[in-house]
Amino acid sequence: MAIRIGLNGQSAGGDKVDLFGRIRRRFFRAIFRTTNVPTAIAIAVILGAAFFAEAQNHEIFRQELRAQVRARIELIRAKLEGNVSGNIQLVRGLVATIATEPDMNQDRFARLASALPHDQSQIRSVAAAPDLVVSLIYPLAGNEKALGLDYRENAAQREAAFRARDTGELVLAGPVELVQGGTAFIGRFPVYTKRANGGFWGIVSVVIDADRLYRESGLMERGMPIDVAIARLDGPAGQDTPFFGEPSVLDQDPEYADVLLPSVTWRIAAVPKGGWDVPPDNRWLLRAVVLLCGALIVIPMLVTARLVEERQRHIRELRRRETELKRLSRRLGLALETSQVGVWDFDMARDELVWDDRMNELYGLPVDDGPRTYADWRNALHPEDLERAERDFDEAIGVTGRYYSEFRVRLPDGVIRHIRAIGAIYEGAEGSSKIVGVNWDVSADVERNEDLRRTKNLMEARHAELMVAKARIEHTALHDALTGLPNRRYLDQKLELRARREDRAERTALLHIDLDRFKQINDTLGHAAGDAMLVHAASVLKSNVRASDFLARVGGDEFVVMCLLDGDDADANHRYLSELANRIVRKMGEPVMYEGHECRFGVSVGISIDSGAGSDPRSLLVDADIALYRAKSRGRNQHQFFNEALQAEIVSTKRVADEILNGLEQGQFIVHYQPQFDARSLEVAGVEALVRWNHPTEGVLGPDRFLKIAEELSVVPTIDRMVLERSLADFEKWNRAGLRVPRIAVNVSARRLGDEELIRSLRSLNIRRGTVSFELVESIFLDDNDELIGWNVEQIKELGIDVEIDDFGTGYASIVSLLKLRPRRLKIDRQLVMPITLSTAQTNLVQSIIEIGRSLGIEVIAEGVETMEHARILRELGCQELQGYAFARPMSAADFEAFILARRGRAAG
């Protein structure tokens, strides 16, 4: 019995071990099955994200904490700067008053100082120390100890007082312990009087209460969440320790802000109370959110893993069954797909027709596995092929047993498709006759053959058309469509051929002809009239040149005649070309009628002749164009031969133009000044700035040597701007030197006056009102002047710049223009001034101009005053100001300074 019990006990223990082993194996299989891998990955990712979020949350909280500290100290910085600067500004007026009243007594000082708003500032007191000894103070009560304080003897305040005296600038010191008790910041203003010899008067000190400054700048607020320390950045050695707050703040990685004050910079350092390592308030909320999100992700994934495992078992079985079916159908599908054929099966007894998807596509029917009948096929046949297609089908059924046919079908959308059909009859399982076959689309083959046939016919027709078009294109490319004359391209070819000929016994000559006043006809009567004039001009030219001459239209209203001349008789060639040019000018000048309008225009002709062997005819067109330009500049309706003198002039102009551009880059253009004098007192009333060119080899050149070419280069506005900036600099220099020049006049060109950026650039120069005048040439101000120029003139006046009309009496300005413009002054041109000593009529003319100016309230200046007799007559006529060699020639800035000082010396003597 005992043995049996032992054996039974052993067996029971073994069953328990096996049971626990099975449970353990099932547990590990359930945990480590492949469907649980995504869940495990998700748990790992969630844990990583949780740690990352915790770190990011702490970093964001730390950054927000720094941002709050920065915002707090920025507010303190702004208050400190505002309070200190405001206190200093309040005292500046008192300093200015003392500078004008150096002998001020205590009562006067107290009345002025009491006017300062002490209750609205941190000013504790204001003291004045003539010769560095405090003798004036407000308020006196409580500050009596400061009276008599000698800054030279006070070690604590001596350095700051001496620095204010030596630098001439405000010095802010502190905090310092006051003689009268308390701590304050002291701003010291050096005072300089306006006595005959000038000099240092003393110091005015404003005492800013330190505690009140701290309190009203937000440094003493209760419950302030930050610890603050303030130290000077630029103080002497030993002062970079904080004068406010605890030094330990600087060791805690604080946030900084600089307080920029006169003569000193303070640095504010701040840390939050408790330091930077304060844990975020939302850390437990963040952990709870992460835990909840993790549960919402992991639990559905575990359930999904179980469902996926069951689904995979079913899918494996279905895949096994489908694999066999796919293997069998793959071969057939590959063959059908490769051949792009449609398969059909027709039961003739039942009239049942079965089409695969490709058959439905070929006939334009929906791919829906729907039933088809013989009628579906018959109805799709093209009407022209219906009879033949049915005959082929009937013959296969009744005679041959084999079916072959080609026909067209019309799809539901109207598209025609060519079909080739093959089939064979067989007997079905029920004993009924059936026919199986295939169809495929041969439309591409049919269309390809048809395209080849059409292409052949088209190419033959195109070849004939191209031969005709080639001739037409060649003519069009080389001729002008309007006049039918050869064009510029044809002319270039002709010149190229002449250049290639090595033995040129004949000389080539070109007449470059340009119509004068053609634009006016085009603008007034329209482009049709302009075209008619061009056709007429072409007709005139053709009727006047030889049959051997080559005539071409090379531009809008430009023509060229190329003549081949005898190379031995230069005089005869010159006469022939002159006669031809004169004849063309004369014929072109005859009136032309267009729709009842009499049109007149002229021509200018430039002529160039090659120099013989070795010359390039292609350069003749450039030479003729230069000669044409000269003919136009001499008054039009004439001809001009190109010669060596004209070539030399062009080369010289080009050289001067290059030197002008280089001179602008090298700063060679300088300013000379000619004084203007009051006609009565002969005192200097102003000065005119005149541009000069300090040429490196030719010396100082006047505007007549370069201004015309500068205008062609469009650099006159640049020169104007340089003269204005240099003149303003010299003007300020003279004023600082005490030369007292009332105003300066600067010439402004029309192109500069029409610059859209003029007003913006003038505003940037900060010109003082009434100190600058702009001299504008009279021809700018016609009655119908440019709107931009008029607007710029008004803006110039609003800037306080006077407007003067230069060279009055030589241009086209009218009284209406003067009324509209309202200039401050007008300057009578020297051509009108010079003859007044010899001609009574000229004197009366000048007097009339002066009377016009007086009646319109315009001051009158006379230039070109060469003698004192001129000055006397102009003064008696009522002219206000005089300018000319009788008084002074244009001179450099240094010479002008010497001139003014010399006059002052003579006046003093």
- Name, in order, each residue with C-beta under 8 angstroms of 145's C-beta and a sequence gap of 6 or more: 179, 180, 181
Sheet holding 255-261, edge to edge: 226-232, 264-272, 255-261
Q: Distance from CA of residue 216 to its chain's centroid?
A: 48
889 touches 674 (CB < 8 A):
yes
Please report, for residues 345, 360, 374, 572, the alpha-carbon distance to residue 353 in angstroms, rounded to integers and kept in the order given. Answer: 6, 12, 7, 103
SS3 content of the chain, % helix, strand, coil (to 5): 50, 25, 25
pLDDT confidence band for 614 (50 / 70 / 90) = low
pLDDT of 813 over the 60 cut: no
Question: CA 750, CA 103: separation in Å to the nearest integer?
Answer: 57
pLDDT at 414 over 60: yes
Averaged pLDDT, 690-696: 94
User: C-alpha angle with apex 389: 383 to 394, nearest 5 degrees?
Assistant: 135
Res. 115: pLDDT tops 70: yes
Task: Kindly state the average pLDDT of the residues 574-584.
Answer: 92
Confidence (pLDDT) at 701: 93
| pLDDT confidence bin for 736, thresholds 50/70/90 | very high
Q: What is the pLDDT of residue 225?
A: 86
Tell me the pLDDT band of 664, cut-offs 50, 70 and 90: very high
For 91-110, write each residue's pLDDT tens digit: 888 888 888 888 888 888 88
pLDDT score at 835 = 94
Beta bridge partners of 659: none
pLDDT of 153 > 80? The answer is yes
Strands 602-609 and 639-641: parallel
354: left (phi over 0), alpha (psi -120 to 50) or beta: beta
Which residue did the predictor score with more confidence, 674 or 324? 674
pLDDT band at 780 (very low <50, low <70, confident <90, very high): low
pLDDT computed for residue 4 by the predictor: 42
Q: Assess contact for 863 and 833: CB atoms under 8 A.
A: yes
Q: Is the pLDDT of residue 834 over 90?
A: yes
**pLDDT value at residue 7:** 41
Band (304; pLDDT cuts 50, 70, 90):
confident
How far apart CA 20 and CA 28 sit, in angstroms, is 12
Give the pLDDT confidence of 78-96 residue by residue, as tens digits.
888 888 888 888 888 888 8
For 242-251, 304-313, 694-703, which range has the lowest pLDDT when averaged over its residues?
Answer: 304-313
Cis before 139 (ω within 30) = yes
Lowest mean pLDDT among 171-175, 299-303, 560-564, 651-655: 299-303
Q: What is the pLDDT of residue 539?
A: 93
Query: Which pLDDT value is given to residue 331?
Result: 66
Please state, rounded to an integer, the average pLDDT across all residues of the chain: 84
pLDDT at position 814 is: 62
pLDDT band at 3 (very low <50, low <70, confident <90, very high): very low
The pLDDT, as a whole number, for residue 426 is: 81
* pLDDT tier, 69 (very low <50, low <70, confident <90, very high otherwise): confident
Give the residue ranges of DSSP H helices in 589-643.
Answer: 620-633
Choice among 45-54, 328-337, 420-429, 682-691 with the minimum mean pLDDT: 328-337
Distances 41 to 44, 45, 294 between C-alpha atoms, Å: 5, 6, 12
Summarize the confidence of residues 513-530 as an average pLDDT.
Answer: 88
Torsion of CA 831, 835, 840, 842, to 10 degrees: -10
Determine the pLDDT at residue 210. 86
The distance from CA 52 to its chain's CA centroid, rounded to whole angstroms, is 46
The region that residue 644 occupies, defined by phi over 0 for left and psi between -120 and 50 for alpha, beta otherwise, is alpha
Note the pLDDT of residue 669.
Answer: 95
Instruction: Using a cut of 0.75, tell me whether the model's pTM lies above it.
Output: no
pLDDT the model gives residue 883? 95
Res 692: pLDDT: 95
What mean pLDDT do residues 118-139 have?
A: 85
Give mean pLDDT, residues 577-588: 92
pLDDT digits (tens, 9 = 90+) for 441-453: 888 888 888 888 8
What pLDDT score does 15 carry?
A: 62
Tell me the percentage of the chain whose pLDDT exceeds 70: 92
Specify the pLDDT at position 13. 56
User: Quick one: pLDDT at residue 196?
Assistant: 42
Weakest-pLDDT range from 393-402, 467-476, 751-760, 835-844: 393-402
- Per-residue confidence at 543, pLDDT binned at 50, 70, 90? very high
Percent above pLDDT 90 for the chain: 27
Q: Determine the pLDDT at residue 786.
A: 62
Structure tokens at 830: 């020297």
